[in-house]
Structure 1
Amino acid sequence: MKQVLALMLILVPGLAPADILVAKRTLRAQSVITSEDVALQPGQVAGILAAPEEAVGLETRAIIYAGRPIRYSDLGEPAIVERNQIIPLIYRQSGLEIRTEGRALQRAGAGETIRVMNAASKAVVSAWIAPDGSARVSQ
């Protein structure tokens, strides 16, 4: 009976011991995380990172206080576009390409979708930020 209970405890999700990733010091918003900024601590919480490799190189989206667990939602790709930055705005479809300048209305990293204002027409569009920092518009 004891063996069955022990086996059930091992198989029940959320009951196995684990480590969570915490901030060693207070991390300001928009800071890129290094291995010196994080540490493992015993515990288990849903939505919390469990290895330093998951956080190193990512940027904080909000302040993370020392000793607090680091959630997936606290981090994102480092920003390559700053708010109000003039960036290439590109529209491509069926062999047609239109290029113009746009003003980023939000700060963003590669792969994020933000609002960009077309500098010529003042129209605001949603655009995906490419790894080269250009904004790509699609329908």
Structure 2
Amino acid sequence: MRILLVFLLLPTSILADTLVAARTIRAQSVIMPEDLSLVGHDVPGTLADPDAAIGMEARVMLYAGRPIRPGDLTPPALVDRNQIVTLWYVRGGLAISAEGRALGRAAMGDRLRVMNLASRSTVTGTVTETGEIIVGPPTR
């Protein structure tokens, strides 16, 4: 019985699967299930669950067979640089919309600089789930 207790108390390494790229994936590509593969060894600091990567966007080039780290992925961008977007200013009962040109790429909830096409002024707003930009004071 003592021997069994000693074996239970000894540190053991638990093998877990590691998520790797099945093929080379370019930056700014959305990850699909066929892009991923699991290998049977544990690499600390990498993803093990394919569901955590599917639907995300690659921030950097992911090479085939290399482990995927959480920092390699980001939510997919809804707005691309130079895309024409709708700007919304909403305050109380007032709602004003205008067209603008995105000055960068952004995902939902990100802050983004946009040039108002009518006034040529630059404003900063938050990207919504529809890809529109809410500018002005934050709503509580």
SS of the equivalent of 1:63 reads coil
Residue 9 of structure 2 aligns to a residue whose secondary structure is helix
1:122 aligned residue (109, 120, 123):
120
2:90 aligned with 1:98, yes or no?
A: no
Q: State TM-score, norm by structure 1.
A: 0.83
Q: For 1:61-76, what aligned pairs fall within 5 Å after superposition?
A: 61-76=59-74
Question: Over alpha carbons, which structure has the higher Rg?
Answer: 2
Does residue 1:9 correspond to 2:8, yes or no?
no
Provide Cα deviations, 1:39-85, integer angstroms capped at 9, x if missing partner.
Answer: 11211322x22111111121112111111111222222222222101
Runs of 4+ in 1 over 4 A off after TM superposition: none
Kept in 2, the 8 Å contact 1:17–1:44? The answer is no
Q: CA deviation at 1:115?
A: 1.4
> Unaligned stretches of 5+ in structure 2?
none
Aligned to 2:42: 43
**C-alpha offsets along residues 76-100 of structure 1, whole Å, 9 cap, x if unaligned?**
2222222101100111122322211
Q: Are the structure 2 counterparts of residues 5 and 90 from structure 1 closer, same or farther at C-alpha, using a change threshold of 3 Å?
A: farther
Give the superposition deviation at 1:22. Answer: 0.8
Partner AA of 1:56 in structure 2: I
**1:33 alignment partner in structure 2:** 31
Structure 2: distance between partners of 1:40 and 1:120: 51
Aligned residues between the structures: 134
CA distance in 2, matches of 1:114, 1:30: 17
Identical columns (%) = 47
